[in-house]
Amino acid sequence: EAGVTQFPSHSVIEKGQTVTLRCDPISGHDNLYWYRRVMGKEIKFLLHFVKESKQDESGMPNNRFLAERTGGTYSTLKVQPAELEDSGVYFCASSLSGGIETQYFGPGTRLLVL
Amino acid sequence: AQSVTQLGSHVSVSEGALVLLRCNYSSSVPPYLFWYVQYPNQGLQLLLKYTSAATLVKGINGFEAEFKKSETSFHLTKPSAHMSDAAEYFCAVRGSGTYKYIFGTGTRLKVLA
């Protein structure tokens, strides 16, 4: 069974540019999460989808970040315009519904904003 | 509010020695607790989880953790370190009624030959 995949693995952009990160969850997982780790700090929750609906977006830092989940399958996270402080590793995770379902994480996208 | 504290951002042990990685949590509701490991260039992999069943939880690769409510701790241990255990380890808490995980800052484990 394929795990959570993320694309690209690395992205280097200049301040003010736009970047779009993609996440493909494990097939059949209704729950999809985005997290971010800024260098040296903890991994922080950004938002949670249930199928195509945003269940919790309390961790989104500001309106420069836009997350979508088309048809309840893959998800994209767009940063527009990117700022220096957006640099970090963006993780995606997915899980089944119900109970204490384990969140399975992807390898992350390393974003560097110059 | 829930929080997790991992003492020691870097821990070094000799091969064959005991591994002890510390995690303390704060939660106003019965917590669900997790340990994840991240090997270089890989995603986070679940080592073990506590979901209010047995307080001693056994995970993969010989790791285990004990939930101690009185100490609000969930320390990760392994009797004998192996070179392949070198990685970064994350403790996380999830409260009842929420799906999001609250992570600690991570502990990077180095195993010395």
Q: Which residue has the higher pLDDT, A40 or B60?
A: B60
Question: Which has the minimum average pLDDT: A6-20, A76-90, B1-15, B22-36?
Answer: B22-36
Please say whether the beta carbons of A54 and A73 come within 8 A.
no
Q: What percent of chain A has pLDDT over 70?
A: 98
- What tokens were used for A104? 């399975």
| Residue of B43, B92, B100 lying closest to A4 (CB–CB) | B43
- What tokens were used for A71? 């048809």
At B41 the pLDDT is 80
B16, B57, B49: which is closest to B32 by C-alpha? B49
Pairwise CA distance, residues A23 & B11, whole Å: 32
| Residue of B51, B101, B106 lying closest to A103 (CB–CB) | B101
SS3 A67: strand
Question: CA triplet A7, A9, A15: central angle to 5 degrees?
Answer: 95
Please say whether the beta carbons of B82 and B65 come within 8 A.
no
| Residue of A35, A58, A107 lying closest to B42 (CB–CB) | A107
| pLDDT tens, per residue, chain B with 113 residues | 788 999 999 999 999 999 999 999 988 777 889 999 999 888 899 999 998 778 899 999 999 999 998 999 999 999 999 999 999 999 999 866 778 899 999 999 999 99
At A6 the pLDDT is 96
In the block, tokens 């500001």 appear at A62
B81 CB neighbour count, 10 Å cutoff: 22
State whether A33 and B99 contact (CB < 8 Å). Answer: yes
Average pLDDT estimate for A39-48: 92
CA of B14 to nearest chain A CA: how many angstroms apart? Answer: 25
State whether B49 and A100 contact (CB < 8 Å). Answer: yes
The β-bridge relationship of strands A10-13 and A109-113 is parallel
Q: Which residues contact A98 (CB under 8 A, 6 or more apart)?
A: none
Q: Kindly tell me the sign of the dihedral angle through the C-alpha atoms of A56, A30, A38, B44.
A: positive
CA of A41 to nearest chain B CA: how many angstroms apart? Answer: 5
Which of A42, A50, A104 is the mutation pick for testing B, counting most B CBs within 10 A?
A42
B26 CB neighbour count, 10 Å cutoff: 13
Please say whether the beta carbons of A21 and A111 come within 8 A.
yes
Contacts of B100 in chain A (CB under 8 A): 33, 45, 48, 56, 58-59
Contacts of B94 in chain A (CB under 8 A): 100
Which chain B residue lies closest to A43 (C-alpha atoms)?
B103
